């Protein structure tokens, strides 16, 4: 890039790059944790993760943090993911499939409506 920036370009570049580095501050609008214990991986957590990242990419979402954690303790309901919207209690989804994950993103992450039929409960284990 050999472009001479204007002030408007500078602001645009800040906003664009900032959205890509937002997870370095550990604070996005939403955070999705895919549970990746051995049980989760065996049940297909990797597909869930790939679907999730693909959705975020194709929809151009820039304020959603994706992270992983270990086994959530409910091995028979894997794959699982926890969705946390800023200032709201986390929601755990169980027995996910790529299609279900896509719906959770569209309805819960984007529109803020919990997909009750896939949800286990509201709450989350303490993570560090």
Q: List contacts with other proteins (CB under 8 A).
A: 1-7, 10-11, 13-14, 17-18, 20-21, 23-28, 31, 33-38, 41, 49, 53, 56-57, 61-62, 65-70, 128
Q: How far is the CB of 22 from other proteins (least distance, A)?
A: 8
Q: How far is the CB of 94 from other proteins (least distance, A)?
A: 17
Put residue 56 in one of left, alpha, beta given phi > 0 → left and psi -120 to 50 → alpha: alpha
Q: How far is the CB of 53 from other proteins (least distance, A)?
A: 6
* Residues 6 or more apart whose Cβ sits within 8 Å of residue 44: 78, 79, 97
Q: Which of these, 81, 76, 121, 110, lies nearest to 98 by C-alpha position? A: 81
Cβ closest to other proteins, residue 20 vs residue 116: 20
In angstroms, rounded to a whole number, what is the distance separating the alpha carbons of residues 69 and 90?
A: 14
Cβ closest to other proteins, residue 59 vs residue 113: 59
């Amino acid at each position: 890039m050999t472009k001479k920036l204007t002030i408007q370009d500078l602001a645009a570049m800040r906003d664009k790059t900032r959205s890509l580095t937002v997870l370095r501050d550990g604070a996005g609008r939403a955070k999705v944790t895919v549970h990746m214990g051995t049980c989760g991986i065996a049940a297909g957590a990797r597909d869930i993760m790939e679907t999730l990242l693909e959705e975020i990419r194709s929809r151009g979402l820039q304020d959603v943090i994706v992270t992983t954690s270990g086994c959530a303790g409910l091995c028979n309901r894997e794959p699982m993911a926890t969705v946390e919207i800023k200032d709201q209690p986390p929601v755990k989804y169980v027995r996910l499939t790529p299609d279900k994950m896509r719906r959770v993103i569209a309805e819960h992450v984007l529109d803020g409506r919990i997909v009750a039929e896939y949800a286990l409960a509201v709450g989350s284990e303490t993570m560090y």
